[in-house]
């Protein structure tokens, strides 16, 4: 499951109706004593974190030994993005900047996103099969955390390798003489990543530095593999996977999100360290960042308290229950005084019929078209943020503003297209189209998805 990055990167902006109306400043629709509604609040936040969180998580630095001579060229568009990530503090080492600058992200996204330049924006993008390529800042964060062990000759495992972009970056950092094994549960994604990698880093594919396997990494796939110096896991596990800890070499590092669907998930750094007295090894686990559900609900509630109200709507009962548990721990006072209310149900099937209008609406899953029911639920002057577009096509994050117009009290709606995004479908993720399972999107690590 995926959420997009904050609104820092604007790809396109067009307005429909009332083009001359002045735009209100950001945040004006969410004020104290206001009402807000969130849809799809159970989505994990692993793929995209705010810049202050990204800077806090980038804790490593260092320089990389000289690269082999047959490197792909640097890409100017990637370089511009990387300068921003470096200025924010997300990228700290020359090694990470060098690797990411030489892997063209456009080769790993849908051609439509590459044409309009979305490949170089700092947010996730859909790659098909209910999966996305992570935002560049998350790739940079993972590379920085693993960077101390990413040296020439190192062995790396990329679990949930998806598009193959991060696999390519890892391979550049351990070449020459290193090896990266990418494991992807979805066979079509594995095949697509092989094609993209052959175009983006042909030398590393030809000399065997990169190998892609389709399968479940927890079902014996690693039985014959030597230990790995670095492991990156791109999907959440219920608990820390023992199989992957066992696959770490002494001194190795692993980055993995841990937590059950609908509950708080934590990005963890796992280090296998030698215990000098006995000659055995022990594991140190550092909890880097909570990335679970209900987070945005709590933030909105804090912004509209003490007299405001936030209604969170989640169709999957298990996710609704999980968010309640997380919210009671994180913001107990706002739960106790009724500022936050969570409902399990379909927001498009009359759930809002008895609700007064909302000053702000956030939608956490993509609708095929702009939902009329939600536009009708906006109060005059209200704002809604909603991703619009079909699952395997182009999706755009839209800002919807309900503006007063004319002398008869009628309302006009202004829609601003902000940027291309990759969201799970509003209905398909709940299994309502017969294609998705009840827990949402099919996962890539033991049946779970980050």
Q: Is 134 designated active site? A: yes
Determine which one of 134, 163, 175, 293 is catalytic: 134
Each as own residue / partner, the long-range contacts of residues 15-23 (CB below 8 Å, 24 or more positions apart, any chain) are: 15/414, 15/415, 15/416, 16/413, 16/414, 16/415, 17/412, 17/413, 17/414, 18/403, 18/405, 18/412, 18/414, 21/403, 21/414, 23/401, 23/416
CA distance 132 to 104: 16
Sign of CA dihedral 252, 257, 260, 263: positive
CA distance 105 to 107: 5
CA distance 343 to 173: 47
**Catalytic residues, which ones?**
134
């Amino acid at each position: 499951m995926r959420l997009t990055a904050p609104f820092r990167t604007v790809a396109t902006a067009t307005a429909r109706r009332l083009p001359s109306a002045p735009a209100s400043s950001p945040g004006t629709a969410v004020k104290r004593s206001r009402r807000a509604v969130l849809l799809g609040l159970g989505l994990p936040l692993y793929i995209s974190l705010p810049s202050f969180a990204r800077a806090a998580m980038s804790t490593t630095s260092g320089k990389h030994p000289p690269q082999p001579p047959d490197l792909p060229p640097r890409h100017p568009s990637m370089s511009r993005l990387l300068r921003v990530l470096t200025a924010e503090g997300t990228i700290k080492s020359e090694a990470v900047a060098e690797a990411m600058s030489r892997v063209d992200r456009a080769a790993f996204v849908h051609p439509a996103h590459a044409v309009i330049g979305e490949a170089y924006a700092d947010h996730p993008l859909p790659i098909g099969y209910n999966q996305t390529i992570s935002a560049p800042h998350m790739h940079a964060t993972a590379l920085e955390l693993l960077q101390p062990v990413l040296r020439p000759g190192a062995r790396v495992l990329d679990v949930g390798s998806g598009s193959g972009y991060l696999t390519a970056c890892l391979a550049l950092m351990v070449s020459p003489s290193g090896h990266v094994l990418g494991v992807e549960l979805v066979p079509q994604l594995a095949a697509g990543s092989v094609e993209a990698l052959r175009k983006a880093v042909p030398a590393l594919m030809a000399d065997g530095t990169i190998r892609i396997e389709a399968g479940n990494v927890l079902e014996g796939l690693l039985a014959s593999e030597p230990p790995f110096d670095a492991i990156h896991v791109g999907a959440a596990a219920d608990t820390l996977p023992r199989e992957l800890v066992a696959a770490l070499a002494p001194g190795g590092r692993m980055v993995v999100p841990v937590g059950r669907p609908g509950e708080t998930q934590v990005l963890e750094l796992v280090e296998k360290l030698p215990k000098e007295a006995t000659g055995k090894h022990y594991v140190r686990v550092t909890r880097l960042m909570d990335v679970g559900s209900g987070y945005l609900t709590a933030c909105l509630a804090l912004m509209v308290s003490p007299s405001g109200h936030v209604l969170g709507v989640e169709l999957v009962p298990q996710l609704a229950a999980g968010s309640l548990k997380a919210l009671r721990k994180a913001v107990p006072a706002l739960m106790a005084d009724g500022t936050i209310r969570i409902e399990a149900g379909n927001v498009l099937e009359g759930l809002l019929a008895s609700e007064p209008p909302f000053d702000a609406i956030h939608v956490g899953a993509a609708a095929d078209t702009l939902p009329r029911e939600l536009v009708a639920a906006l109060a005059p002057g209200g704002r809604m943020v909603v991703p619009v577009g079909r699952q395997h096509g182009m999706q755009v994050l839209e800002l919807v503003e309900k503006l007063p117009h004319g002398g008869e009290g009628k309302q006009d709606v202004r829609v601003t297209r902000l940027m291309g995004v990759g969201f799970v479908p509003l209905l398909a993720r709940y299994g309502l189209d017969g294609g998705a399972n009840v827990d949402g999107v099919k996962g890539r690590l033991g049946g779970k998805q980050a």
